[in-house]
Each structure stands twice: as C-alpha cells, then as structure tokens.
Amino acid sequence: MTEESLPKPPSRSAPRGTSAKQAPAKKGPKPPRGERPARPARPDRAKAEGAARPKREEAKGRPAADKRKAKTEARRGEERSSPSRMKRARLFREESAGSGRRGGETKPQSPRAEQPRPRSERTEEEPPRAHKAGEPQRIAKLLARAGVASRREVERMIAEGRIARDGAVIDTPATILTSLKGVTVDGKPVSAPAATRLFLFHKPPGFLTAAKDPAGRKTIYDRLPPGLPRLVPVGRLDLNTEGLLLLTNDGELKRQLELPSTGIERTYRARVFGDVTQERLETLIEGIEIEGMRYGPIDANLERRTGRNGWVEMKLTEGKNREVRRVLEHLGLQVSRLIRTAYGPFVLGDLPLGAVGEVPQHDLVTFRKTLR
C-alpha cells in the first residue's frame, strides 16, 4: 500500500466530527453594528408576550405574597375576636335549636318565624322594664313578687283553693289584679312586696332543698340561722351536693335566675374516680344525649389527677336534675363529692359551711340590669 492510497487525517482547523471536505464555508465580513438588519420576531412569541409575562410576574411578585398575608391577618383577627368556649357553645345551641335530635335536619320554619324580630329600643345601660305600681298583673306574678312562692307553686295553691280575695276563693291563676289588697293565703293577709334581697348560703351535704319532706329528712330551713325573711331557693342542690345556694325573697328574681334563656353560668367541682382525659371532657362542649335526655353544652376541665382520682371543673347554663352526676357517670366516672362553687357572678369563696351572706344592694341592682 502506497502513501497515496492511505486516507489523509482530518484537518485540525475543521470542527470535531467533520472531515476537511465537510468543513463549513467561511462567512463573509459582518456589517457594521448600525447597519445590521433587525431580526424578525416570531409571531407566536409576540402574541403571547403580553399575556404570559404578566402572569409570571404575578406568580413571582408581590400579589401572591400580599394575598397570603391578608389571609393570615384575617385568621388572626378571627382568633382574637372569637368568643369563649361557653359562648360558642351557646351560639351552637341557638343555631341548632330547630335541628332534630338524631337526624340533624333543620325543622322547616314558618314564614312568620323567619322574619327578624324587632330590636328593643332599650339600651344595655338601661334596666329591664319593671311593672309600675298599680299596673294590672296576673295574681301569680304579684304573689311571686311578694315572695309567697314561685309562679308554678302559686298556681298549685290556687288549684287547691288556698288563695282568696275579700273572702272569695280565687279559682283561676289568670285573675288580673292591680294590688294584693284583700288577698289572703291560707287565711293570712299578704303584705306588700318588700325590697328584693339576695343571700348566699353554703349548703352542707345531707340537707334537702325543700320547704318540707314527707319522709322527715332535714331540709335547708332546718340549718338556716334565725332572723331571716321568708326566702325561696334559686334552683336546687341534691341531698349529697354541697356548695353555693342562692336564696331570695323575690319570686320573680328566682324565676329569672333559673331560666336557661338568661344564660347564667353555674360552676361545679367534682371529685371523681376513674379513667378520664381532657380530650374526652372537651367533647361535652357540644352537648350530649343520655337515655333520650339532651343536655346542653358543658365546659369541662380536668384540674388535677392523682392515679385514677381527680378533680373536674364543669360549667353549664342549664342545671337539669342531677345533670352533672349523670354526665360524669355516663363517662364511666364515680362521683364521690360534688360542690357548686359559683352561680353567675356570685362565688362561694371562703363562706363557711352552713353560713349565710347577703349580696350588697348596689351589686344586686347592677346584676339585674344584665339579665335578659
């Protein structure tokens, strides 16, 4: 093989991967900068330039960050202005008042019920409307205001024929009177209503909240000190429940304090035995149904725990019969002691067992202004 038949190596000046025969042709001299022709723009890029670029800038720029910041500030504002747990529970109860017990479907309302009720012209600083002297009222309300008994008890007394006026027995609680002049109960005249008074009583365990007991058991009136006016209890405490019990000489005030619609909060402390967690107690905030009985929202907190023994604080606004005990027993807990520590703004505090303290008159007036 001669040197002429051997293939020539590729030229060093040619690009890698190409032979000297395939080397690109050299371009001519470049025109000056000012004389270069403008590069034609691609039509599809020119069309999308006005829409795509603003979207990329919006995605990478301030608008998205400002939107996230606005959402964060709104959420924090809602947290700061959110009501307490008991208020949220009250709103939940009011919203679900028309819902079914089991199905959860809202009952259809009549067109009249859907219409908003007119707001009262009375401001929050003004006290609730009081009946003027000489204004016609039902006899049950007048006797309750005089401290004879509650309205329901007065109606029972009327049915039993124990109430009369000018010697004639009153046979209907719908009797309208302007005063109690000539009215007698069990043959004794009824005096004019005295000034409203409210007392705090530290009820000991083992006493019934009743005027008398057919079985002969002791009642709270056997423990009250002498010299007090005729008082009626606000609500009831079980035989073995101790703590704060309100007493008043005004049957109308008694009724206002007992109604769940006023939203007055009752606070209890229970000593329990059993396994319980705070997470399980917090489920009571939405209410609970036990054996067909529906109980409203309860704010329950586990104060302290030693082994299987612990103290639970419970706040509620209804106060049904044995409500606290039944709810705790439903959770598998045994209640060994139950104390009511507060009723609305009135606190048991350091009041000794079996002692009585009177609420100052100016505090009572201020409190009655807040009642709905």
| Bridge partners of residue 293, in order along the sequence | 290
Lowest-confidence range among 58-67, 142-151, 226-235, 254-263? 58-67
- 69-109, pLDDT tens digit by residue? 676 677 666 655 555 555 555 555 565 555 444 444 444 44
Is 238 one of the catalytic residues?
Answer: yes
Query: Higher model confidence: residue 104 or residue 155?
Result: 155
Asked if residue 342 and residue 259 are part of one domain, the reply reads: yes
Catalytic residue among 171, 238, 275, 350: 238
Asked if residue 326 and residue 353 are part of one domain, the reply reads: yes
pLDDT at 122: 41
Asked if residue 353 and residue 294 are part of one domain, the reply reads: yes
Asked if residue 229 and residue 211 are part of one domain, the reply reads: yes
Domain count, the chain: 2
Asked if residue 306 and residue 248 are part of one domain, the reply reads: yes
Return the CATH number at 169.
3.10.290.10
Return the CATH number at 255.
3.30.2350.10
Whether the per-residue pLDDT at 177 is higher than 70: the answer is yes
State the maximum Cα–Cα separation within the chain, in Å, rounded to a whole number.
157
pLDDT at 313: 96
- 347-361, pLDDT tens digit by residue? 999 999 999 999 999
What pTM, to 2 d.p., does this model score? 0.58
- 25-71, pLDDT tens digit by residue? 555 566 665 555 656 555 555 454 555 555 454 445 556 566 666 76
Asked if residue 326 and residue 255 are part of one domain, the reply reads: yes
Lowest-confidence range among 84-98, 188-202, 259-273? 84-98
pLDDT at 117: 45
Asked if residue 288 and residue 149 are part of one domain, the reply reads: no
Which domain, by its residues, includes 248?
198-370
Asked if residue 221 and residue 166 are part of one domain, the reply reads: no
pLDDT confidence of 151, banded at 50, 70, 90?
A: confident
